[in-house]
Amino acid sequence: MTAAHPQPAPAAGSARSLSAAELAAVRADFPLLERTVRDGRPLVYLDTAATAQKPRAVLEAERHFYERTNAAVHRGAHQVAEEATEVYEAARAAVAGFVGADEDEIVWTKNATEALNLVSHGFLSATLDARLGRGESATSERFALAEGDEIVVTEAEHHANLVPWQQLAARTGATLRWIGLTDEGRLDPETFSVITERTRIVALTHASNVTGAISPVADVVAHARRVGAVVVLDACQSAAHLPLDVHGLDVDFAAFSGHKMLAPTGVGVLYGRRELLELLPPFITGGSMVEVVTMATTTFMPPPNRFEAGTQMVAQTVGMHAAVEYLHGVGMESFAAHEEELTRLLLDGIASVPGVRVLGPTDPVDRLAWWPSTSRGCTRTMWARCSTTPASPCAWDITVPSRCIGGSASTPRPEPQPASTPRLTRSRRSWRRWGV
């Protein structure tokens, strides 16, 4: 399945942005963008960081699967089941190729949140097993946590890459620490010293869903490697916007969601380094992930199937396959170049709007193309989506995919809470940092 639009030819040695004709062709691939909103105005959709619209190729792939190939995978002996298994595994291979992984290092999950929980629960199970004096010693060595161990996150995390680690720390007696942010919302290198000999896990976002700031992953990985910590990358925002190479980044785990990268909802991915997946205890147990089951005991399949219990989301993986082919067809480098150009234009333009201040990096390099901003005219609850009168500098649908600092494009931002938990304290500090 390839996108029905002209293929941009990247300039030698560097990607170029999309031409007007290519952009129009891309837009025409998305049926939802044909609709109008608010009294017949053309839809301008700027909430892709929350969830992306789907190109026809993805919709058709899913429909075709249900019309021609629908069956349970990895268990039927009939032809349709064999074909369903083939397309399920072909999707895995396509996603592996898209992110620079090997096929057996790609685990299907419901979304990025589940993928991150799969890893944190693996640590939890290994810890409980070790404390009960059972479990493989290699697993305990890698994943069992002891009191005094530390888990490092960053202040830029989405809840999906913060709460599971908070929970893991609370249940194991480990301590949660975090890398701070600069005033522009970038990871502050001066706080990388929180990674010490006690650090067992470093979990960080590749790109902030609030500011678009891209994390210096190589620097953080270098610190983590020095102390033998496992690195977990939340690639939820980067996977759809940047060429991603998980082996090149040298991370141990990476998580992302299909729905943010043109694929259907209900499918996500956990990348895991093969030797770690082999040692990681299963998360959800039941059918589809077992070898031999007696009334008393069970042996588990090797990865990735060990982590795919129950009836799999086959149609969604087929949609994911079509999505990565679509992204590949247009070219991730071209998307990235186009977004950088858009960022430049918007940052230049917005600087001249009275009363609007950009939150996050003002340099278009190493940041993705979304723009949290604040304006004097906007109340707290209107912070993310500034609906306004014509006289106001804010415009409809200049939105931010913001959750981390207490607001969201679609939900009112909560009023500051008493600083009774580290999370709330962080929100208050972040608001204060940016003066909103």
Ligand X SMILES: Cc1ncc(COP(=O)(O)O)c(C=O)c1O
Report the interface residues with ligand X, using CB under 6 A: 111-113, 158, 160-161, 205, 209, 234, 236-237, 257
With residue 103 as reference, give the H or E element that holds it.
Answer: none
Shortest Å, Cβ 266 to ligand X = 10
Instruction: Give the shortest CB-113-to-ligand X separation in angstroms.
Output: 3
CB atoms closer than 10 angstroms to residue 46: 17
Instruction: For the CB of residue 259, give the shortest distance to ligand X in the complex, in Å.
Output: 6
Cβ-based nearer residue to ligand X, 29 or 234:
234
- Give the nearer residue to ligand X in terms of CB position, either 7 or 51: 51
Distance in Å, CB of 233 to ligand X, minimum: 10
Q: To the nearest whole angstrom, how small is the minimum distance from the Cβ of residue 347 to ligand X?
A: 21
φ, ψ of residue 6 to 5 degrees: the values are -60, 140
**Residue 5 or 54 having the CB closest to ligand X:** 54
Find the shortest distance in angstroms from Cβ 209 to ligand X: 3
Which one, 85 or 399, has the nearer CB to ligand X? 399
Q: Is the alpha carbon torsion for 81, 84, 88, 93 positive or negative?
A: positive
User: Where are any strands of DSSP class E within 206-327?
Assistant: 230-234, 253-257, 268-272, 290-293, 298-300
Instruction: Return the residue matching tokens 């129950």.
Output: 310
The smaller minimum CB distance to ligand X, of residues 6 and 412, is found at 412
Provide DSSP, 44-81: ----TTT-----HHHHHHHHHIIIII---TTT--SHHH
CB of 113 or CB of 430, closer to ligand X: 113
Are 388 and 395 in contact by the 8 Å Cβ rule? The answer is yes
Measured CA distances, 102 to 37, 51, 114, 430 (Å) = 43, 27, 21, 39
How many helices (DSSP H) and strands (DSSP E) are in the chain?
Answer: 12, 13
Residue 281's φ and ψ, nearest 5 degrees, are -65, 155
Q: Which two tokens stand for residue 283?
A: 């998360």
Closer to ligand X at the Cβ: 164 or 364? 164
- Which residues neighbour 409 within 8 Å (Cβ) at sequence distance 6 or greater? 47, 50, 384, 385, 399, 400, 401, 402
Cβ contacts of residue 355 below 8 Å, gap of 6+?
375, 376, 377, 393
Residue 38: phi and psi, rounded to 5, are 45, 75
CB of 244 to ligand X, least distance (A): 13
**Nearer residue to ligand X within complex by CB, 49 or 84:** 49
Smallest separation (angstroms) from ligand X to the CB of 279: 25
